[in-house]
Amino acid sequence: MKRVRVHVIVEGFVQGVFFRANTADKARSRGLGGWVRNNYDGTVEAVFEGEEGPVKDVVEWCRKGPPGARVEGVPQTGKTRRTNSMISGYATIKRSPGTFLTCLTCGGHALTRLAVFSLFLVLFINHGCSTTPEGPKYLWPAESGHPGYLIIQGAGVFEDERIRVTVRPVVPGDGTINKTIFKELLDENYVILDMTIENRSEEKIMFNPSHTSLMDNQLEYRKPINYTDLFTIVRKKEKERPPEKILTGLRGTYYDLNETVPPGKKTKKLLLFHPLSERGKSAVLKIKELYIGTDTISLIFPLRMRGADGQ
């Protein structure tokens, strides 16, 4: 059978859901070589080499991915990227300093000398020094932001003459949530933000949650949890009640589909995200293409990890 080499970039919510590991396992099980890695921009990039049939099968699998993934596109290109866009390990012939390598062919791992030293240093710091365990951390508004950005009563606020957007952290006991499932997610370090969009213009405002992302300083990238994601989460947690029944009671409480805010009105719902890195100290909430009539604006809310009291 004809042998081929295919380069793909998987777009969508494909990081933090074991997409890279599952892709490597899938390719390895089909006898393929190549590599797979996570990129800074939230995509997963891979090269598959082998017989044409198995390569096509794995590319087709990438269009769906593992449970929890939401694939928006799998464009194929003729050449790989030659940039410093890698944030997770991959296998290639030429190794980069400090890179953790994962081989699709044998499944083995290798560490460069710089990575070994870094790992030793981390282990020494973590286990050689006694530290007092810290309590849970939550994302609070950072002190500085883009023009129009303010902090008002513990919330990050962007406002001008046409719109006011308020982003407030949800912490245990603040009275924001009264649904059991949301309280459980908060206890499991899911990120929950209370966002209000107030329309001060004479045009309709359109908010699309898929144009929103959260990225921390460890380059962990998250898209908002939608109905399908929440269904998967609830199905794993609930053994007695059907997920459909639980999710019916959550309608209208979190941003899932496109939201339209008429002139002079406002909407207030929750943004839900999968947990970020435990090493994360700060993050950025980015809203792209928020429509005000036919105009679009992009908003950035800087956030910082703090305790439940904001300290």
Token representation of residue 263: 């002139």
Mark whether 279 is an active-site residue. Answer: no
At 163-178, the pLDDT tens digits run 999 999 998 877 777 7
Closest to 170 in 3D by CA, of 144, 215, 145, 139: 139
Tell me, what CATH number does 103's domain have? 3.30.70.100
Query: 223 and 284, same structural domain?
Result: yes
Could you tell me where the DSSP H helices lie in the chain?
19-29, 52-62, 113-128, 180-187, 227-237, 243-248
If DSSP codes are grouped into helix, strand and coil, which group holds residue 247? helix
Interatomic CA distance for residues 263 and 111, integer angstroms: 57
Return the number of other C-beta atoms located less than 10 Å from residue 240's C-beta: 4
How many domains does the chain fold into?
Answer: 2
Interatomic CA distance for residues 114 and 111, integer angstroms: 8
Query: 165 and 265, same structural domain?
Result: yes
* Residues facing residue 110 across a β-bridge: 101
* Residue 96 falls in which region: left (phi positive, over 0), alpha (psi -120 to 50) or beta: beta
Q: How far is CA 125 from the centre of its chain?
A: 28
161 CB-contact burial (10 Å; exposed 0-12 / middle 13-18 / buried 19+): exposed
Mark whether 38 is an active-site residue. Answer: yes
Query: 47 and 142, same structural domain?
Result: no
Query: 207 and 112, same structural domain?
Result: no
At 75-115, the pLDDT tens digits run 876 544 433 333 334 433 223 333 333 445 444 444 444 44
With the C-alpha atoms ordered 219, 212, 284, 68, is the resulting torsion angle positive or negative?
A: negative
Q: Is 199 within a domain?
A: yes
Report the percentage of the chain scoring pLDDT > 90: 32
Q: Which of 20, 28, 30, 37 is catalytic?
A: 20
Q: Which of 38, 168, 199, 222 is catalytic?
A: 38
Among 66, 100, 128, the domain-final residue is: 128
At 46-83, the pLDDT tens digits run 999 999 999 999 999 999 998 878 898 888 765 444 33
Query: 258 and 164, same structural domain?
Result: yes
Q: Are residues 88 and 20 in contact, defined by beta-carbon separation less than 8 angstroms?
A: yes
Q: Is 133 within a domain?
A: no
Query: 178 and 45, same structural domain?
Result: no
Contacts of 182 (CB under 8 A, 6+ apart): 170, 192, 253, 270, 272
Which residues form the domain of 287?
Answer: 138-306
Query: 93 and 10, same structural domain?
Result: yes
* pLDDT confidence band for 144 (50 / 70 / 90): low
With the C-alpha atoms ordered 122, 123, 128, 133, is the resulting torsion angle positive or negative?
A: positive
Query: 149 and 261, same structural domain?
Result: yes
